[in-house]
Structure 1
């Protein structure tokens, strides 16, 4: 099972053994990806589900509000539908509580494994400003390279800003430009100079290289972690 539905807890048959089967199949797939050092999108997916379970456990009224409703009668002449809530069944609610209690430690354990992999990858990354860093760093270039290869993946990045619950957050968008070979003559600095000549809209771009000491899958692990590392370093600079 590649992904767990957003409403997996209340979707379809609400039975402890069935939901246990669904969850364990999902987590088995997560483990297979983690064994290959492929973190995303499963890490963010599991954080989402775990937070949902925590919310439901601490505030069961939210479960009532978000529970799917079944159509009990349809008035086709007025195009109105009336719904009857399924949550009036106490036995059903007890079943859901049992599922939540089973699922939470499973997610927690899987997230701990993912966190260990994340930290291992991050500890193997070297962050290098390329050339002189300008004052304006909200957009520029990211060079991503691994020691086991001479390939340099070149991205244009742009920081994004958003506010949630009165807190300000930074995000990042990246656009893949091209791949070049890093050599004694074609250094990071030389690659940057070529980009400046080609893209006049960024005459003095902030440019950073992130080099991995080990090989990690690019789209599922290295790029997502490198992007977070870039945002964090720019934020404190």
Structure 2
């Protein structure tokens, strides 16, 4: 899809009409993705750009933590130097502020559309344990059933906890193991038993199944939202 560079505010020509053209093309592409029920990666990018706009508007500075992991500290520092020169130029800064005022409500509106789609998909997911759940929940198997069909995507998952001065965060990594077709002879419970026999390095893994009740793209919506739902589910179990 049509993407928006991380440093779109400061890159190239600092001109209101030019930036407006870039922005509208990007937001139209984002809306097209949402129309196809594809949330990621566009939803994450929208959030990043919106937070950046707010930071610039409120503090006239860029904050490294607001940028996605794909931008390195060195790249960010170069961007920050360019931006600092712009801040010191009153005429250019006025153009930037006009662009921010125009862009902020448009980002808000598009993000709301993404949020509605996210909540729709999330509300149509059912998550439950498979078999007996051990005390340790931060590593195990995730079974993912898309709608319609009888295929189950099997993933290994691992939840990691990291924190800064103010908050604790939970992240999740997944690794696709296999795709299986379920039936009367291969229920979720039987599938877990089969995995235990094949992968003895995990003798008693936590196993959860997430079932979608609506058809949505696997990689761009279902899997990312299922992973976040599992993190929240496990956090409640561990509380």
TM-based fold match above 0.5: yes
Larger radius of gyration: 1
C-alpha distance in structure 2 between counterparts of 1:200 and 1:109, whole Å: 49
C-alpha distance in structure 2 between counterparts of 1:20 and 1:47, whole Å: 18
- Hey, which of these two has a bigger chunk of helix by percent? 2
Extract unaligned runs of 5+ from structure 2: 64-78
- Partner of 1:144, secondary structure, is strand
Alignment correspondent of 1:233: 233
Extract unaligned runs of 5+ from structure 1: 70-83
User: TM-score under structure 1 normalisation?
Assistant: 0.89
Alignment correspondent of 1:68: 82
> Is the CA contact 2:129–2:208 (under 8 Å) kept in the aligned structure 1?
yes
- Partner of 1:85, secondary structure, is helix
Alignment correspondent of 1:169: 169
CA offsets per residue over residues 180-209 of structure 1, 9 Å max, x none? Answer: 001111000000001000111111110000
User: TM-score under structure 2 normalisation?
Assistant: 0.89
Shift of 1:62: 5.0
Shift of 1:86: 4.4
> Is the CA contact 1:10–1:67 (under 8 Å) kept in the aligned structure 2?
no
C-alpha distance in structure 2 between counterparts of 1:40 and 1:127, whole Å: 21
Does residue 1:12 correspond to 2:12, yes or no?
yes
After the TM superposition, which residues 39-50 of structure 1 pair with which residues of structure 2 at under 5 Å, given as runs? 39-50=39-50
Does residue 1:142 correspond to 2:142, yes or no?
yes
Change (3 A) 1:201 1:132: same
Shift of 1:128: 1.4
After the TM superposition, which residues 25-174 of structure 1 pair with which residues of structure 2 at under 5 Å, given as runs? 25-60=25-60, 62=62, 66-68=80-82, 85-174=85-174
> Is the CA contact 1:144–1:152 (under 8 Å) kept in the aligned structure 2?
yes
Shift of 1:61: 5.0
Alignment correspondent of 1:76: none
C-alpha distance in structure 2 between counterparts of 1:227 and 1:128, whole Å: 13
> Is the CA contact 1:163–1:169 (under 8 Å) kept in the aligned structure 2?
yes
Change (3 A) 1:62 1:33: closer
Alignment correspondent of 1:218: 218
